[in-house]
Amino acid sequence: MAPYRTTGELRELSLTQKLARSALVTFLLTFIAARASALLATTDWFPALRVQLWDTHIHHLNFGIALLSLIGGYLLFVRPGGRALAGASWLYGVGLALTFDEFGMWLNLNAAYWQRASFDAVVVIAGLLGLIVAGPALRRFRTRHWATMAGFAVVVTLFAVLVLKPLWSEG
């Protein structure tokens, strides 16, 4: 394999990168829409979009979990290709955003919607998807790519410790 690539080769994205790009775009758009609608609901400009089952508010993380479960089953058992696979990546991004937008509630179900942990989790997920989009295929990884991946793993681990530390203190 030649060390230099043509412009066409550099522009060509792998299937994994294309799917990650679709998931990243829908992830970010859904997160922005969820946060914007929640912000606007605090004003009189926009109605609160919420699902209520008797006295229980069904948070959108539940819809995200259901969507991720359905997409996971579909991908595992149907194994689609082409447009169906692209559509699955879009729905995967939506499910990720709905779920991780309320990540802080995973840790404390009685907490408010506006938790820092939720926003931080979204940033980490977006960064990971961005790395998949921008990075080379695993078979083309070089030492610097593995070093970047190891550094990212250390940072995510430290982030997880910082997020979970208040829970250890409460016990």
Backbone angle region of 54, left / alpha / beta, with phi > 0 → left and psi within -120 to 50 → alpha: left
At 110-128, the pLDDT tens digits run 656 656 667 777 777 887 7
Which neighbouring-strand residues pair with 56? 53
What gap in Å lies between CA 69 and CA 92, rounded to an integer?
9
pTM of the shown model: 0.67
At 30-66, the pLDDT tens digits run 988 888 777 777 777 767 667 677 887 777 888 999 9
Percent of the chain past pLDDT 90, that is, above it, reads 22
Longest dimension (CA), the chain: 65
Q: Give the domain ranges of the chain.
A: 14-170
**What is each CA distance from 57 to 35, 38, 60, 94, 96, in whole angstroms?**
17, 14, 9, 20, 20
At 86-118, the pLDDT tens digits run 999 999 999 999 988 887 767 666 656 656 667
- Range 5-32 average pLDDT: 76
| Contacts of 63 by beta carbon, 8 Å cutoff, 6+ apart | 98
User: How many Å separate Cα 29 from the centre of its chain?
Assistant: 11
**What is each CA distance from 63 to 91, 130, 135, 153, 161, in whole angstroms?**
12, 24, 30, 28, 27
Mean pLDDT over all residues of the chain?
77
CB environment 127-166: b (16+ within 10 A), e (fewer):
eebeebbebeeeeeeeeeeeeeeeeeeeeeeeeeeebeee
What gap in Å lies between CA 88 and CA 65, rounded to an integer?
15
C-beta separation of 17 from 126 below 8 A: no
